[in-house]
């Protein structure tokens, strides 16, 4: 299961809190800063910080952008790993 699908599953099936899941996904699993993620997603950094701190829940459009960006970053990483592996 990829990171984005894991987040959705944890939220809707297991009732986990979004801020902790997103923080772990963005900073630890994907290894990007909030600023980098903001640039890639088009979600303002201030909005991301509020979501990550639990001060704000994302609306559906913002949630979709976040999930789609996580998927895009993850796919780019997998593509890069495949490319490096095949060149060896």
Q: What is the pLDDT along the chain (88 residues), one digit of tens a residue?
A: 899 999 999 998 988 999 999 999 999 999 999 999 999 999 999 999 999 999 999 999 999 999 999 999 999 988 766 655 544 4
Write out the residue range of the structural domain in which residue 63 sits.
Answer: 3-80
CB 67 within 8 A of CB 4: yes
Q: Is residue 88 part of a domain?
A: no
Q: Quick one: tokens of 71?
A: 């998927």
Could you count the other beta carbons within 10 Å of the beta carbon of residue 19? 16
pTM: 0.85
N-to-C CA span, the chain: 27
Number of domain units in the chain: 1
Orientation angle between helical segments 60-87 and 3-12, nearest 10 degrees = 150
CATH of the domain at 31: 1.10.260
- Phi/psi for 58 (5° steps) reads -75, 145
């Amino acid at each position: 299961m990829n990171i984005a699908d894991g987040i959705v599953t944890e939220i809707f099936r297991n009732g986990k809190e979004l801020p902790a899941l997103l923080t772990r996904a963005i900073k630890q699993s994907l290894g990007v800063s909030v600023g980098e993620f903001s640039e890639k997603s088009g979600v303002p950094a201030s909005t991301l910080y509020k979501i990550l701190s639990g001060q704000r829940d994302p609306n559906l459009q913002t949630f979709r952008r976040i999930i789609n960006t996580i998927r895009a970053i993850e796919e780019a990483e997998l593509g890069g790993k495949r490319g490096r592996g095949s060149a060896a």
